[in-house]
């Protein structure tokens, strides 16, 4: 992947991933973490200095040299103007220094972890009391001190708007399922294989977990599949002025970026998304050993050894070697 393709990849992440992240449930809040001390206001790392590299045909590259990590956060807020609530979707986008791949690393919402300043709890519970600082610290700590360059937030409201602006998108659906929409009684079928999602069906697709074999683990896979499909669709339509005219104001309304990359930078990169291919995107999940119970709540138990290997691979920019060793499957490892 060239540096220009990196810009396309990050543009796609900013333009699509953050709104894909709004595929979250409207369930009650999780139990509070076990300690009550105030979260630290510090971030886990300081973004690296950007190194602009002008090209003859495009804007200066606002991204830093070397590997780039962006934490993508989607809260369960249904208010377009509200980014608070629980972080029901948490994903780290990693672009290696050689620009050959885009890695999407999901964290399941029910992972039981240590939350800096708050004690143990589900990882999604780090967001409501501590905001992006505490959640970023938690993600960094889980992966052994990974440096996070950007945090990008969205919420429930933007997902349908993006789906409609793109006139739908295609996903490779791994597990067939049928969902009955409670509010209307409408039945939506998602057959196995390549399917097209449009209107509200995309949101229904990425929210589903109860009818999937591995529940929330499969839901993270659907979120990554939707992100890839949206990136493809952005690539197809990036040269259509009418589409960009609709995407630009929507992004301004629905995305918040923390780090040395502002919305104008992101929007300038959106037209460059056209060369990203599906095979350039590798989906991963922070590994879990299985499922357990903490304080009456169902939780996902982190595989400490393999997660340490994953964190080392992100920190040393060797995720290709990690994938060669562990693969991309996300079923519980069963490790003790």
**Percent share of the chain, pLDDT over 70:** 66
Q: Which of 291, 272, 282 is nearest to 310 (CA)?
A: 282
Put simply, whether the predicted model's pTM sits higher than 0.75 gets the answer yes
Phi and psi torsions of 135, nearest 5°: -65, -45
Class of domain 3-166+209-326: alpha beta
According to the model, what pLDDT value does residue 283 have?
95
Residue 29 has pLDDT above 80, yes or no: no
Cβ atoms of 123 and 301 within 8 Å: the answer is no
pLDDT at res. 78 = 57
Estimate the crossing angle of helix 241-254 against helix 158-165, to 10 degrees: 170
The rounded percent of the chain whose pLDDT value lies above 90 is: 40
pLDDT at 161 over 90: no
Residue range 287-325, pLDDT digits in tens: 999 999 999 999 999 999 999 999 999 999 999 999 999
> Shortest CA distance to 21 belongs to which of 101, 93, 69?
93
Per-residue confidence band for 222, with pLDDT thresholds at 50, 70 and 90: very high
Q: Could you report the per-residue pLDDT of 95-131, keeping only the tens digit for each?
A: 888 877 889 999 999 999 999 999 999 998 898 787 8
Residue 107 contacts by C-beta under 8 Å, 6 or more apart in sequence?
Answer: 90, 91, 92, 123, 139, 142, 220, 285, 286
Over 50: is that where the pLDDT of 22 sits?
Answer: no
Q: What is the pLDDT of residue 308?
A: 98
Q: What pLDDT is recorded for position 75?
A: 65
Q: How confident is the model at residue 38, as a pLDDT?
A: 34
Whole-number pLDDT of residue 115? 95
Give the domain ranges of the chain.
3-166+209-326
């Amino acid at each position: 992947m060239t540096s220009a393709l990196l810009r396309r990849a990050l543009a796609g992440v900013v333009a699509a991933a953050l709104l894909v992240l709004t595929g979250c449930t409207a369930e009650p809040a999780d139990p509070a973490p076990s300690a009550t001390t105030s979260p630290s206001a510090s971030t886990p790392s300081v973004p690296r200095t950007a190194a602009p590299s002008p090209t003859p045909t495009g804007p200066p590259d606002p991204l830093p040299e070397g590997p780039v990590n962006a934490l993508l956060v989607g809260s369960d807020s249904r208010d377009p103007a509200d980014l608070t609530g629980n972080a029901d979707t948490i994903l780290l986008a990693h672009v290696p220094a050689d620009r050959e791949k885009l890695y999407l690393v999901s964290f399941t919402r029910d992972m039981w972890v240590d939350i800096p300043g708050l004690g143990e709890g589900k990882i999604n519970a780090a967001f409501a009391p501590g905001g992006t600082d505490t959640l970023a610290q938690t993600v960094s700590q889980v992966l052994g001190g990974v440096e996070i360059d950007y945090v990008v937030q969205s919420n429930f409201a933007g997902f349908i708007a993006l789906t409609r602006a793109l006139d739908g998108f295609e996903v490779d659906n791994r597990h067939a399922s049928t969902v009955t929409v409670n509010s209307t009684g409408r039945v939506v079928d998602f057959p196995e294989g390549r399917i097209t999602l449009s209107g509200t069906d995309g949101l229904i697709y990425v929210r589903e977990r109860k009818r999937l074999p591995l529940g929330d683990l499969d839901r993270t896979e659907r979120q990554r599949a939707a992100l890839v499909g949206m990136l493809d669709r952005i690539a197809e339509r990036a040269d259509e002025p009418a589409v960009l005219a609709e995407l630009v104001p929507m992004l301004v309304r629905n995305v918040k970026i923390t780090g040395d990359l502002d919305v104008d930078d992101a929007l300038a990169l959106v037209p460059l998304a056209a060369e990203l291919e599906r095979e350039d995107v590798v989906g991963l999940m922070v590994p879990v050993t299985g499922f357990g119970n903490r304080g009456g709540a169902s939780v996902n138990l982190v595989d400490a050894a393999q997660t340490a290997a994953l964190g080392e691979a992100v920190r040393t920019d060797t995720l290709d070697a990690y994938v060669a060793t562990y693969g991309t499957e996300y079923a519980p490892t069963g490790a003790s």
